[in-house]
Structure formats: structure tokens, C-alpha cells
Amino acid sequence: MQPKRIFLYLLIGSVAISAVVAIGVVLFGNFGNFEVRVMMTTLTVTVTSILGLACGAYLESRRGRTVPIAGIALSIAAALMTFLIIWNVYDRSETFIKATGSVTLLALCCSHLSLLSLARLDKRFAWSQMLAFVAVWLLATILLYLIWFEPAGESDLIFRMIGILSIVIAAVTVMTPVFHKLSAKENGVAAIDAEIEGMKSRIEELEREKAGMVQEPAAE
């Protein structure tokens, strides 16, 4: 079964379970620790399914493998680690919580880049995807540094960098569908022009053949 279809079924199932639990809470008015954990678990499955759908769609396009496969693996790992925190298995381990946050962050990066990579861009707009990759991984590196080392100080340089990179990523994310649309339109026009030229050449060739066939009986 295709990865995209698997995550789609997981998404449908998690949303259905969340709806059933929510209806049960409304009907019976009992929202204790167990219900909270069930809701958090289904929410985790929902988020994992969305991330997996993004990576699965790019993987099925066969235009890249490393990023989507890594994204799927990281999404599943992040979900399993989150389950252990939700159900109080490793909820008191600071190292495990940091590791979970790190894996989740990397899964988000791979999923975001997979979505952006689905766009088919003209060579004029290819720079936007490269910029997205650089900005996303730079931001991820800074956030991982903050998660693990928790630097202390009054310098706001890191936070300024986070703000700048976030703006760049948001801008590229918004522009990518526009670039995709422009690229598709121009590529379509170019393909039509090429087909017209090919048909003109074929018509000229047929006219020459016709002229030759007409001249042969006249010569006899």
C-alpha cells in the first residue's frame, strides 16, 4: 500500500476517534486524565498523518527520496516518543523530552520541504526552493541549539535570526504556489507552440508529397 494512502487512513481514523471521545465527554460530562491522554494520543496520530501525507505525496512523485523517506521515519519516531510522554513512561526525563522535540522539529522540516518540492518550477524560479532549503535547515539548527544548550545571555542576535529566517520561509511558502502556476502556464504555452511548429512542418511535408504525386501523372 502506498505511504500516502496509509497516512490518509490514519488521519481519518484519528479524527473519527477524537470525535467519538469528544461526544462521549459532552454526553457523560467526565473528562479525566484518561480522556485527556486519549485525546492527546489521537491528536498526535492526526499530526503524524498530516506530516506523513506531505512526505508520501512527494515520495510518490518520484522526484526525490531522501527528504520524504526521512520525514516519514522521523514522523513515526516522533509519534512513538510522544506516546511515551503522554502515557507517563518517560514524562520526567528532560533528555527524552528534548529528544522528542528535536525529532518532531526535524519531521516538520522534512514535511514542509516535501510540500514545497511538489511544485514544478521554471528555471527562473528554482532559486526559491534552494532558498527554502537553506532557510529551513538554518532555522532548525538554531532551534536545536536552543533546545539542547539553553544559552543564557542578554544578546538578542539569535532571536533576530529566528525572526528573519521565519519571515523568509513564510514568504517563500506563499510565493511557491504562485511560481508553480506561472511555470505551468508558460510551460503549457511553450508546449503548444512546439506542437504547432511540428504540425506546420508536417503539413509542408505532406504538401510537397502531394505536389509530387500530381506532377507524376502529368509527366506520363
**Sequence spans of domains, the chain:** 3-219
**SS3 helix, strand, coil % of the chain, rounded to 5?**
85, 0, 15
Give the pLDDT mean for 171-178.
91
50-54, 130-134, 158-162, 212-216: segment of lowest average pLDDT: 212-216
Average pLDDT, the chain: 83
Please check the confidence at residue 43 and state whether its pLDDT lies above 90. Answer: no
Give the closest residue to 74 by CA, choosing from 93, 95, 50, 102.
Answer: 102
Q: Of the candidates 76, 165, 64, which has an alpha carbon nearest to the alpha carbon of residue 115?
A: 64
Q: Residue 192, exposed/middle/buried by CB under 10 A (0-12, 13-18, 19+)?
A: exposed
What one-letter code names the amino acid at 83? Answer: F
Q: The pTM is what?
A: 0.75
Place of cell 514545497: 116
Q: What band does 211 get if pLDDT is binned at 50, 70 and 90?
A: confident
The Cβ-side half-sphere exposure at 72, using a 13 Å CA radius, reads: 19
For residue 215, what pLDDT band results from cuts at 50, 70 and 90? Answer: low
Would you state the pLDDT for residue 96? 92
Instruction: Please check the confidence at residue 47 and state whether its pLDDT lies above 80.
Output: yes
Q: What is the pLDDT of residues 53-103, one digit of tens each?
A: 889 888 888 888 899 999 999 999 999 999 999 888 777 788 999 999 999
Task: Say what the pLDDT of residue 57 is.
Answer: 86
